[in-house]
Structure 1
């Protein structure tokens, strides 16, 4: 039985969406025969066609969040300062570049190696200036006691 026309008319009469229209599965023949709004109104009055209640959003996520808050998880549970990763990165890279430029100005590193290491700094290879010094000494690009 095709009840799509009756379903559409019922949704307009009841003022709800088509998905909220319930049709009694035992009386599909009567519903399929309904072609006018008056027929649909009669079926609604008899209880053959009804409007379902609106579906509410799931509370599953809310319950989970409430449980976690109960256990002390949440934005207020963090201790210590908030660190801005970008600012830390900028400070670290600037310090390393400053150190590398000082080496170049003292003549302890040649131009070719300077740019190779400069690109490594940009790539985030070194954790700190000390790490950079270690790399330079291990690769014999400078001498440890001259690096200052």
Structure 2
């Protein structure tokens, strides 16, 4: 019993695909006699032919994934797509870095490990992107101190 024509007509009437058309299995012989659209409409009204509900994408897997990510899972190197800056922008990284360096600079000034002149110089250097991190800043501070000591020794020798 071929119901291709009936399914095609029903799909047209119900505004759905042929796969979504459901025909009552007990009424197959009766439905197979339908030739025109009017015949098919009659069977739709009787309830012998119906449109199955749309099947959406389940969000269960997405929900599980979201919960795992909350725990910190599924965030390894293998899951990452795109550049490093796709996850955290360059500006955000810069702000984080410069803020920590400047905070450290203020601490050094308050503890009087650097003079006001040195502070101003280091502040400008930090703003220009000279320091990669706080350790780099401290390295520069020690170099400045060593340079100051050498200068003092030279001035003492001249006198």
TM-score, with length taken from structure 1 = 0.48
TM-score normalised by structure 2 residue count: 0.45
- Which structure is higher in RCO with an 8 Å CA cutoff and minimum separation 6? 1
